[in-house]
Amino acid sequence: MRKPCRKCLLQEFDADGYREKILKELDWMDGEMRAPEEEYQRRLALCRDCEKLLEGSCLACGCYVELRAAAKAGHCPKKKW
Residue closer to ligand SF4, measured from CB, 18 or 67: 67
Residue closer to ligand SF4, measured from CB, 17 or 77: 77
With binding defined as CB under 6 A, does residue 24 bind ligand SF4?
no
CA atoms of 31 and 50, how far apart (whole Å): 27
**Residue 1 one-letter amino acid:** M
Cβ count near 62 (within 10 Å): 10
CA atoms of 28 and 80, how far apart (whole Å): 26
With binding defined as CB under 6 A, does residue 19 bind ligand SF4?
no
With binding defined as CB under 6 A, does residue 58 bind ligand SF4?
yes
Contact residues toward ligand SF4 (CB under 6 A) are 46-47, 50, 52-53, 58, 60, 65, 76-78, 80
